[in-house]
Amino acid sequence: MQVMVKTLALTSLIILVMLVMVKLKIGTIISNSFIVQSDIVGGYGCQSTDEYLNRRFFILKNNTSSYDVCENGDEETDAKESSTEISHPGRTRRLVQVYSMEDFVWCLDSLSLKRKRRPMHIAFMGDSTVRQHFISFQRWVPDYDRKIGSQSTVFAQYPFHEDRNLTSPVLDNLIVSFHWRNLIKEDLIADFKRWASTSDHNHAPDFILMGVTAHHIVTNNVTKSLQEYERLFVENFLPFINQSLTLHPQQKIVWLLQNPTIEYASPSADRKVRIIDPDKIVQYNSVIRRIFRGTRVVIWDALGALVEEYLRACFLGNFHRKDKTRYTDCQDFIHPGYRALFISTQHIINHICNEY
């Protein structure tokens, strides 16, 4: 009798896990506490750039990233680099290029030549999820002569909230900076107001990765509702973004959508993480899509697919497996682990090297 009970319990657990994996795989929105909420939007279109940042065309399979691109009648498709499977009519599959550190240096040097050796500034602006990308990205800048400095601000509650600057004179004075901007308030608005007030390209970043959502979802002293967030964004922030892009045609801005999460975080999770529920993430991301529609800002939502795989691994590892080797960094289910960050950094490098 005990054996039958244990067998039934084990069978039920296996079925539950399989259902979780199937539901997560197809991105269905489910209300269960451990299910990832997705905000994929319809409409495929045929874009010419940034397909690897667009979730509708991004494919992650067997540790390989690929994406669908518009077919070009003047170009032959390399059979080795493309799959015979076509996800959408009129599109063919292409692998995301994997850059080594040496490749990235070559890319920076090539860009520098095109820019007549004008220093390049790559900026990361936002909360701790953006800071993760800054930390991961800086590892791809070789330590020839690089220097990393920090600057504390009145908004930096902790040392890791400080602004940081990585510089490398030998790489034609490359600047990679992080700006702690967790809320849309005076410091973030002042940054873009400053860049929107000068036509000198040396005084504005060339590439900006930005994401400012998570701290608006939780209780804060700036906005109290989604409607207030949208109004603040549209009236006080968006005009300076558009003006900066107009004055600096070479400037690229990528907005990192808030990643999906799960309702039940691990017992050690931070209190704020527990109240960033999936429904609110979908709502805020929908507002961001509406705000940036028709602008030059690129929305990066392909990372959501990586994060969902990460969450699935964390769920299976932390809640079901009994072995000690768990998936790396499953602490709060809002900050992706190292493997997801590695792939996302490759996407950023592809965007910088292929789009300029």
Higher pLDDT, 333 or 193: 193
Contact 79, 98 (CB under 8 A): no
Mean pLDDT on 148-167: 75
The token pair that represents 337 in the structure block: 């682990």
Looking at residue 159, its pLDDT comes to 60
Looking at residue 338, its pLDDT comes to 77
pLDDT band at 58 (very low <50, low <70, confident <90, very high): low
Higher pLDDT, 318 or 193: 193
Distance set, CA 59 to CA 11, 12, 265, 297, 340 (Å): 32, 31, 27, 22, 14
Residue with tokens 């702690």, as numbered in its chain: 180
Contact 128, 335 (CB under 8 A): yes
| Range in 79-83, 89-93, 106-110, 183-187 the model is least confident about | 79-83
Mean pLDDT on 3-7: 50
Mean pLDDT on 5-27: 45
Say whether pLDDT at 221 is over 80.
yes
Say whether pLDDT at 229 is over 80.
yes
Say whether pLDDT at 225 is over 50.
yes
Closest CA to 229 of 218, 210, 242, 216: 216
Looking at residue 279, its pLDDT comes to 84
Query: Mean pLDDT for the chain?
Result: 74
The token pair that represents 186 in the structure block: 């005076």
pLDDT tens across 252-291, in order? 999 999 887 765 544 455 555 556 778 888 899 999 999 9
How far is 90 from 68, CA to CA, in rounded Å?
Answer: 9
Mean pLDDT on 116-142: 93
The fraction of the chain above a pLDDT of 70, given in percent, is 61
Looking at residue 160, its pLDDT comes to 62
The token pair that represents 101 in the structure block: 């550190």
Amino acid at 286: S
The token pair that represents 123 in the structure block: 């900026």
Say whether pLDDT at 49 is over 80.
no
Say whether pLDDT at 137 is over 90.
yes
Mean pLDDT on 85-105: 70
Distance set, CA 91 to CA 80, 185, 196, 210, 322 (Å): 16, 41, 37, 29, 44
Number of helices and strands (H, E) in the chain? 11, 10
Higher pLDDT, 156 or 245: 245
The token pair that represents 227 in the structure block: 């409607």
* Burial grade of 178 (CB within 10 A; 0-12, 13-18, 19 or more): buried
Looking at residue 32, its pLDDT comes to 30
Looking at residue 77, its pLDDT comes to 39
How far is 57 from 44, CA to CA, in rounded Å?
Answer: 8
| Range in 43-47, 124-128, 318-322 the model is least confident about | 43-47
Amino acid at 171: L
Say whether pLDDT at 28 is over 80.
no
How far is 341 from 345, CA to CA, in rounded Å?
Answer: 6
pLDDT band at 245 (very low <50, low <70, confident <90, very high): very high
Higher pLDDT, 305 or 204: 204
The fraction of the chain above a pLDDT of 90, given in percent, is 42
Higher pLDDT, 329 or 73: 329
Say whether pLDDT at 296 is over 90.
yes
